[in-house]
Structure 1
Amino acid sequence: MTTFPLEPTAAAAQDTIREEFAFFGDWSERYQYLIDLGRKLPPMDEALKTEEHRLHGCQSMVWIAVSGDAAKLDFTAASDSAIVSGLVYLALRVYSGRSADEILATETTYIADIGLAKHLSPTRSNGLAALLAFIKARAADAAAARVTH
């Protein structure tokens, strides 16, 4: 079980992801690594696997919940797909446990850098985009809430 964040900054997390994926020579190895990463996702409380927490835009079932405030947002998520679980793991590795400001300031560059964008099906790409949009939206909500209080 992994607790996020693993690296001190979102940028460092993306650098580590790039280094890890550069180690693998072909995409079958990279897909296997994604599946292995998905197995490291912390288990999500079954009570959170509800329609309210379901991420729409994914072909697979994905649930995501957020806790915390602008100072630190923690995301918990799960998927019924092994590869999607790996994609979720990577997104949480970059963004979970970070401040709203850091999340909003961090462009998601690792996806293109490791060649993921070219190797995902259109439905998985759409789902990943929906996941990242959800994370950014919750960070924007938290940042806005901080300003109004």
Structure 2
Amino acid sequence: MASAAFEDIAETFEFLDDWEERYRHVIELGKAMAPLDPAFQVPATKVEGCASQVWFRPLIEGQGANARFDFQGDSDAMIVRGLIAILHALYSGLEVSSVLEVDAAAELGRLGLDEHLSSQRSNGLRAMVGRIRKLAAEAAG
């Protein structure tokens, strides 16, 4: 179910020997992501449940269950920016109805994130996935 962009990330993770290399790669993914315009870094776009500051701006093309899901995101923490980039690769371009079918825990588990993130970061990652699912559900109607 994962997108080609997410599959590319998963393949890269398979070639990286240890978690430190993977961690650096996650940070590089975050650095490569375009920043969210500060005008959208407001309470309405803030993701609650994250230790870091995190904002998601939904970008939905079309209407109803077949609308295409996309979002812009940002954080004040580099590792979290990287996690946002991974989530973007996982969800961007899917129909909003398909976003709700993604087993994020299983897909992210392929990267080994669940084993290496602190409990606080893991909780934040779950909060980000929850926000994405909520945005998709609202767009699907």
Say if 2:28 is the partner of 1:36. Answer: yes
- The aligned residue for residue 3 of structure 1 is none
Post-superposition shift, 1:40? Answer: 1.2
| Greater mean alpha carbon deviation, residues 85-94 or residues 15-24 | 15-24
- The aligned residue for residue 115 of structure 1 is 112
**Structure 2 CA distance, aligned partners of 1:44 and 1:11?**
22
**Structure 1 CA distance, aligned partners of 2:50 and 2:117?**
13
**Structure 1 CA distance, aligned partners of 2:38 and 2:6?**
29
Contact 1:37 1:89 in 2 (8 A): yes
Structure 1: 4+ residue segments shifted above 4 A: none
Contact 2:96 2:137 in 1 (8 A): yes
- The aligned residue for residue 4 of structure 1 is none
Post-superposition shift, 1:93? Answer: 0.9
Q: Percent identity?
A: 38
Say if 2:85 is the partner of 1:93. Answer: no
1:96-147 superposed Cα distances (whole Å, 9 cap, x missing partner): 2321022112212231112110100011000000000111111111112xxx
Post-superposition shift, 1:11? Answer: 4.0
Post-superposition shift, 1:51? Answer: 1.2
- The aligned residue for residue 101 of structure 2 is 105
Give the RMSD, CA atoms, in angstroms.
Answer: 1.5
Classify the secondary structure of the residue corresponding to 1:76: strand
Gaps (5+ residues) in structure 1? 1-8, 145-149
Contact 1:75 1:97 in 2 (8 A): no
Report the number of matched residues. Answer: 136
